[in-house]
Amino acid sequence: MKKISLMLVFVMSLTNAIAQIPGNISYQAVVRDVNNNLVTNQSIRIRLSILNAPTSTTPLWQEVHIANTNESGLISLQLGQYVAFPANLFRDNSTLFLKTEIDPAGGTAYSISGSSQLLSTPYAMVARDVENVNDADADPTNELQTISISGTVLTLSHGGGSVVLPSSGGGGDNWGTQVAITNSTLSGNGTTASPLGIATQSATAGQVLKWDGTTWTPADDETGSGGGPPSGPAGGDLTGNYPDPLFKLPFHRAVTLFETPFFIHNNASENYSIHGKSNGYHGIFGETHSTTSSGVLGKGSGYGTSPGVEGRSGESEYPNPPEAITVGVRGTANAGAGIMGLANSGYGGYFRATNGKALYTSQGGVQFRNLGEAPGRVLTCDGLGNATWEATQWTSSGNNIYYTNGNAGIGTTSPGSNRLRVVSDVSGGTNATALFQNLHAAGLAMRASTNSTDGTALIIQEGSGYMLRCDGYDPNWFVGMIVKGRSVGINTDNTGNFNLVVNGTAAKPGGGSWSTWSDGRLKNVKGTYKRGLSEITALETVVFSYKTGNPLNLSSTPEYVGFIAQDVQKYIPEAVAEGADGYLNFDMHAINVALVNAVKTLDSKIKNLEQELEQANDKNLTLKNKYDDIYNRVNEIEKLLILSKK
């Protein structure tokens, strides 16, 4: 349990400074939580106990208060306000400890506590000194005197002396010739022969004395009916003012075993002893911390079907059980019925659960009687939920059940000519009219076969949704295929303006590339496509991956090579189009056609270069021949020069 950090101030409350020592102890404390933060402006519950040892579990005195902390976390209480201190508690125990337990939420879960020793206050120290002071004769007890009478002698002990009282004479007070002076409210004169009494003053039976502001006079008692209602503030266990006082709540009283602190006895036959009504929560709430008893116990002590607890409907402003009703009834019976509901009309029992089970049985069975029961029948109900036992149309054979007499409908009363017709109006991506599951690793969830030439299955879409939707979680198969209207999407449900969209890779094993109709007899030729080499060389190629969490749910894991649509749009705009989703898509076909034109341009350039190269080669050959001729001539000249030198 957490420790409480308290600054305690104890002050003995002197309610009557002259007459007597007070019976209460003033208590103040500053409440802090375990983080040393003040608990301010909060209603708390505090249990205070006086112990003879700091670790004792048996309190000598205990009291519970509901208190409000102020903005400084301070509370002020009067110990002993609700439970008086035991006699001689402080005299018989030399050392006492005060234990405090607090629930900051105002409940009974005391989460913070602390103990401190009770120390003497100044006037208590003075009282201790007075007990031990000797007077002049050194006898602290001789001032305790007793008075006694013997006959007419009145004596005071410890040398206090005695006196002789006058005798009573002939009886009554002996006042000699003196008598009591009375008025109309008294009778007699105070003598033996005529003792004093209250004069009748013409009072009648049942009247009482009332003060009229001047004198006491007889008058009728205020009974609340003929005599008029009482007036003024109420007291005791009542609060408020007459004539309409209220019972003081909460009503706290410590009781002993088998004691009933609050008892209401109703002798009327058509009224309630207790009527609890609430517009928001429980009319009557019973709580117990016992493991064997009940918060509310109803006992039927009459005869026949007299119930201990009875619930009724149709007798108040709520003819039907309100939707927000919360009722808990426990019935225990050694024999017979633990709970019995009896209704001439309406419901003998009403069960409803917002969450959980409206009716739950853990042991034993459930029996429905007088509803047409017979062996082999099943429990059915009409459209209002009224149950009856009816003969079943199904036949059981071992673990099999079958129905051969007609067609079956689920969710419909008109199966038509279909052996099985299932109808529902469920919605949502995970809801379906029929769900087939096979948990075996090699099994099929659904199989259809037919001998008809019309087909094995016919799917008709009468709305605007999907005709066929397949979702798989095997990475070796399709992640998903969705057919919606005339568009097909693989691994996507966003087909945009396309009839087929594949989110991810696709393969077409064998058979060449994808084909399209290209017969000239089918086409209107609008001209020659001009884009080519200059546009192709202007395009920027990139390596990319799709962004994580993109709106089209495109996978961000693989890397691709390609183009950016906005860049392509600058040079070959017909290759780019905006989809219904607002995003640009790219058609590689226009690029391929432009590449053909680019190849043609390059081919033309190559042919021109080849022709130029051939011409250059011819020129080079002529130059070579001339070079060879010059070379030969130079050699001849060199030979002649050598001969000339010789």
Give the torsion sign (CA, 240, 246, 249, 251). Answer: positive
Q: What is the pLDDT of residue 292?
A: 64
Residues in a beta bridge with 247: 238
Domain boundaries, the chain: 2-126, 378-422, 459-514, 531-646
Cβ–Cβ < 8 Å for 103, 125? no
Residues in a beta bridge with 3: 113
Residues in the chain: 646
Q: What is the pLDDT of residue 319?
A: 44
Based on C-alpha coordinates, what's the Rg of the chain? 55
Give the torsion sign (CA, 151, 156, 162, 165). Answer: negative
Cis-peptide into 475, omega within 30 deg: no
Q: Which CATH number fits domain 2-126: 2.60.40.10, 3.30.420.10, 1.10.260.30, 3.30.70.260?
A: 2.60.40.10
Cβ–Cβ < 8 Å for 93, 111? no
**pLDDT averages per 10-residue partition of the chain, 646 residues:** 43 38 81 86 93 90 93 92 88 87 88 84 57 56 75 80 70 54 77 80 86 84 58 74 74 65 66 70 70 65 56 45 46 68 74 76 78 84 86 80 83 89 81 83 82 78 69 47 62 76 74 79 92 94 94 88 94 92 90 93 93 92 93 91 86
Q: What is the pLDDT of residue 476?
A: 41
Residue whose tokens read 């007699």: 188
> What is the C-alpha separation between 250 and 645, in angstroms, rounded?
152
> What is the C-alpha separation between 556 and 546, in angstroms, rounded?
5
> What is the C-alpha separation between 325 and 187, in angstroms, rounded?
67
> What is the C-alpha separation between 594 and 600, in angstroms, rounded?
10
State the chain's maximal CA–CA distance in angstroms.
209
> What is the C-alpha separation between 644 and 264, in angstroms, rounded?
165
Q: What is the pLDDT of residue 310?
A: 62
Q: What is the 3-state secondary structure (H, E, C) of 486-508?
A: CEEEECCCCCCCCCEEECCCCCC
Residues in a beta bridge with 388: 380
pTM, full prediction: 0.31
Q: What is the pLDDT of residue 385?
A: 82
Cβ–Cβ < 8 Å for 262, 251? yes
Number of H helices and number of E strands within the chain? 5, 33
Q: Are strands 61-68 and 43-51 parallel, antiparallel or unpaired?
A: antiparallel
Q: What is the pLDDT of residue 567?
A: 95
